[in-house]
């Protein structure tokens, strides 16, 4: 068995869905062992149940610290034998507690071409800035927001008549493609972190590499 994935989501979890499907059809050598949420109403939990995956809810205790919260999250994930934590629309910042429990094994996706447009509402931010391209970024998580070493990025154009919704939809399509791809690279042991860079060990000649896909708009 490959990756033992624990997925954490606060909301709808469409990226979770793409990962569940990729595990099922073999594009990811791994299995989602538990889906955890801070939000008992998260649709991601429904997706898990439909796929026959156990769920766990760890609600935020406003009197406790974020570290206290992550101690419970780690305990829940460990209970299921998780070795890889996949954030799929998780709205809480993770702490050192979670990161130390799964070193270089906490992954996130962000709907922009980092370092451009970290944070929230980034589709509208990219449009308002007047950028001609945006995209998405799968990255290892560190203690800062949207800042860890980048595994894969994908690029999409921003069109003159885009809204946050149309751009977001175009980006989401790429998210559903690159998140499973990044996890498969991890499953294959092909990712090497050097400083801030993530280098990809070649699998077989010519695979997975797009040379000079230069585009402009």
- Residues in contact with its own copies by the rule CB under 8 A: 113-117, 127-133, 135, 149-150, 152-157, 159-160, 170, 173-174, 177-178, 181, 195-200, 209-217
- Pick between residue 9 and residue 122 the one whose CB is nearest to its own copies: 122
Taking the complex as a whole, the smallest distance from the CB of residue 140 to its own copies amounts, in Å, to 10
- Pick between residue 35 and residue 150 the one whose CB is nearest to its own copies: 150
- Please identify which of the residues 110, 121, 139, 211 carries the catalytic annotation: 110
Q: Bridge partners of 192? A: 199
Quick check: 117 and 83 in contact, CB under 8 A? no
Cα 38 to Cα 10: distance, rounded to the nearest angstrom: 6
Quick check: 53 and 34 in contact, CB under 8 A? yes
Taking the complex as a whole, the smallest distance from the CB of residue 145 to its own copies amounts, in Å, to 15
Cα 188 to Cα 150: distance, rounded to the nearest angstrom: 17
According to DSSP, residue 159 is labeled P
69 is catalytic: no
CA dihedral sign, ordered 74, 8, 109, 92: negative
Taking the complex as a whole, the smallest distance from the CB of residue 130 to its own copies amounts, in Å, to 4
- Pick between residue 66 and residue 177 the one whose CB is nearest to its own copies: 177
Catalytic residues: 110
């Amino acid at each position: 068995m490959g990756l033992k994935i624990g997925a954490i989501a606060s909301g709808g979890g469409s990226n979770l869905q793409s990962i569940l499907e990729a595990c099922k059809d073999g594009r990811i050598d791994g299995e989602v062992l538990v889906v955890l949420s801070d939000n008992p109403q998260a649709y991601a939990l429904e997706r898990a149940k439909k796929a026959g995956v156990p769920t766990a809810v760890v609600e935020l205790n406003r009197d406790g610290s974020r570290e206290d919260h992550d101690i419970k999250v780690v305990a829940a994930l460990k209970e299921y034998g998780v070795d890889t934590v996949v954030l799929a629309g998780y709205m809480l910042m993770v702490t050192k507690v979670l990161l130390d429990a799964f070193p270089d094994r906490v992954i996130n996706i962000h709907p922009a071409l980092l370092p451009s447009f970290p944070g929230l509402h980034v589709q509208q931010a990219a449009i308002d800035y007047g950028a001609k391209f945006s995209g998405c970024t799968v990255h290892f998580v560190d203690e800062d927001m949207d800042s860890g070493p980048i595994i894969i990025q994908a690029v999409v154009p921003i069109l003159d008549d885009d809204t946050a919704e149309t751009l977001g939809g175009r980006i989401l399509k790429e998210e559903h493609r690159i998140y499973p791809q990044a996890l498969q690279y991890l499953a294959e042991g092909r990712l090497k972190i050097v400083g801030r860079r993530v280098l990809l060990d070649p699998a077989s000649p010519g695979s997975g590499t797009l040379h000079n896909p230069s585009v402009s708009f």
